[in-house]
Amino acid sequence: MEASVKKCLLGAVFLGIGLSASTVQAAASDTWIYDSITLLAKEGYMDMPEKPLSAYSKKELGQMVAQALLEFEKNRTGSLADEYGRISRLLVVDEVQLKLAEEQERAAESRIKSARSKAAKDTEMYVRRSMQGKNRLEVMQPLKEKSNASLNRLEQASRDYAQAKSRVEQRSRMLDYVRKRKQDLLAGLNGSENGSAVSAGNAGIYGNSVSAGGATSVVPASVLDTVGRLRAEFLPELDENGSLDSMNARQQLESNMPVEDVPDQRLKVDAEVRYDVRYSSGADSGENRQRARARLYPDYNIDNNWHAIGMLEWEKAFTGSGDDKDGKLKLDRYYLSGNVGIAHMDLGAFGSTMAEGNIYDSKFMGVRVQAGEPVKYTLEYGKAAKDKIEQSYDFTISYQGAVYRVEGGFYHFKRRDENSQDIYMANYHHNIGLLDAGAMLLYGRNKGDSGKTGYVFTLGYTPQNSWQPYTFSSWLKYYYQPSSTYVSHTMNAMVDNMRYDKNDSFNRNGGFKGWGIGINYNLPAAWTLGLEFYRLQDLEWGRRSNTIWFAVTKSFQNYHE
């Protein structure tokens, strides 16, 4: 009995051992199935079940595989084609990003060379003087401060250079993976089995972060490889949630290196066609006039700094008299505009609006220089395009605050008959809610005469969206201007007739006073309506005149802002 029990127990043990070995062998043979199903789940062709795969029967596993293969077959060509389109778009973006990063690297390299040379020179001077025993504070302190400042600039330039070089390396790696991914997708679409991840044969290329100069990236190459591979693999997800744009924006914001300013369009052209009507009455009124005017404003970007700018003009008076160019095309403005150091310069024949047009508003031939912010300095020298004026110059200073603007200026006009006119101007504007209130003081003096004082009060309304259709802007002004305070006024009233006497000689006591109001209304398709009314009185004789001016204008341009 005892022997039989031992035999049974021994048989059970051997049976158990045999079953365990069989189970282990079966589990080992099914490992590749579990790995494949897991891979399909990771690729998104199925969802992983809650229980371990080993807990399911062969039939249940077959159903999972069938579901995954069906999803794969259904989405294979369409998904690959979509991803190929997205990866092609990303490739262009990456190529542009790499190009700009390389521009930043070149700029950083130039800066670090300049900073290194300056730091070496300043530090050498400081150390040399110290070794020569020049220990006086008034000598050594400036040298020390200069050396420290140069070294600080070198430190900053070196940091910028390291960041720029690292960005180029990273962008280059990302671009390599995107190109490889594009090839793999195309191979997959064609049914080829050659498409794969980045081959191990390229490890030598991707293993070194920076090949030149012996420098290496702070981030290990393996991490960059993984990031690049995942970025290309998960392009749809990254693109959909905005991660690609966020990464690009972060890298751009981290850099203070400039990129080349490439214009989107070399030649920009603005144009306008206007029809206006002027009707005036009173002793100082002129001819009533109906006129058509067309202007073309070309602006050619020469080198991203200097611009060649012009204005072609054609006018035709239908009623009333026109000037000597009536019905003819004329080149009225032609000048170069660009920056020279910290100053902006205009050279040639350009438009000049002096004292908001209350002194002069017309063509000016010469040079204009502007510099400064928020305090701006402006100098014009040349010749105002007005009969009998052979030389003129002016200088203004202005300051733009948050809610106010203040400026002052001096204007000189020399005539052919040796007479001259000097005008001084002070101006103040202040925002009051939606309104802008201004007061301008003018003091004009003709050669050999005592001066006269004038002023202009302004109340304007210009909303922030005044450029949009169905919006309007308006202004109300009161003028008191002796003839010595203006040369060629901007208004459409007959104030030039009030500046000279009947013999067309300079009227030292003339001028005008009165009111003016104007309204501009914007319509769709860049149409604008303008209406102005003036009620003025001659300061010499007290005679009154009224002027109504109306215009309709259509604007064009060959570019989009």
Q: Comparing C-alpha atoms, which of 474, 483, 476, 477 is closest to residue 451?
A: 483
Provide the pLDDT for residue 25.
39
Check whether 73 has a pLDDT greater than 60.
no
Query: Percentage of residues in the chain with pLDDT exceeding 90?
Result: 41
Check whether 417 has a pLDDT greater than 70.
yes
Write out the DSSP string of 370-400: EE-SSEEEEEEEEEESSTTEEEEEEEEEEEE
Provide the pLDDT for residue 221.
54
Question: Buried b / exposed e across 523-552, counting CB within 10 Å, b at 16+?
Answer: eeeeebebebbbebbbbbeeeebbbbbebe
Average pLDDT for residues 374-392, to the nearest whole number?
93
* Residue 287 confidence class, pLDDT cut points 50, 70, 90: confident
Full 3-state SS string of 176-243: HHHHHHHHHHHHHHCCCCCCCCCCHHHHHHHHCCCCCCCCCCCCCHHHHHHHHHHHHHCHHHHHHCCH
Check whether 429 has a pLDDT greater than 80.
yes
Q: What is the pLDDT of residues 294-318, one digit of tens each?
A: 999 999 999 989 999 999 999 999 9
Q: Is 253 exposed, middle or buried (0-12, 13-18, 19+ CB in 10 A)?
A: exposed
Q: What is the pLDDT of residues 121-173, one digit of tens each?
A: 888 888 877 776 666 666 678 888 888 999 999 999 899 899 888 888 888 88
Please give the residue that has the higher pLDDT: either 423 or 61.
423
Give the amino acid at 261: D
pTM of the model: 0.60
Cβ within 8 Å of residue 251, ≥6 positions away? 97, 167
